[in-house]
Amino acid sequence: MFRIHEEQMASLGARSRARFVSMMAGYIDENFAYSVDTTTREELEGWVSAAVATAERHDVTTEPETAQLVLLLLVLGADADRSTPWVADVLGDRDLAAVGKVRKLARLAREQAVEGIEDVLVVKEVCEE
């Protein structure tokens, strides 16, 4: 019988995470260069990695929602989960699934007239709200 050991799963997870971070950094660099024009690729990947860690801390672990949250943090600020009460409230809400958190953050950011919010909304369900 074939069995995947815990160390192998961790390795697969780390590689998958690294691939995602690299992909998101490339996407941001290509589509939001004006936001990261003074940032090296290494710094950008570090920022994306920290944003992904923020998503994971708040149980946003599906790839589309994590990608959308990373982009939201690009305009809300990397520390928005600690510095902005309404962001902290949404991300800390254990009754919301990942997609609900992202949708609610997008809706509230629109209500707060956050500059640049429409530029970073890419998940179809979020854009349609």
pLDDT, one tens digit per residue, over 40-51 is: 999 999 999 999
Output the pTM of the full model. 0.84
pLDDT of residue 87: 96
Burial of 42 (0-12, 13-18, 19+ CB in 10 A): exposed
**What pLDDT digit, counting tens, does each position of 90-101 carry?**
999 999 999 999
Cα–Cα distance, 122 to 22 (Å, whole number)? 18
Read off φ and ψ for residue 59, nearest 5 degrees: 60, 30
Where do the structural domains in the chain lie, given as residue ranges? 6-127
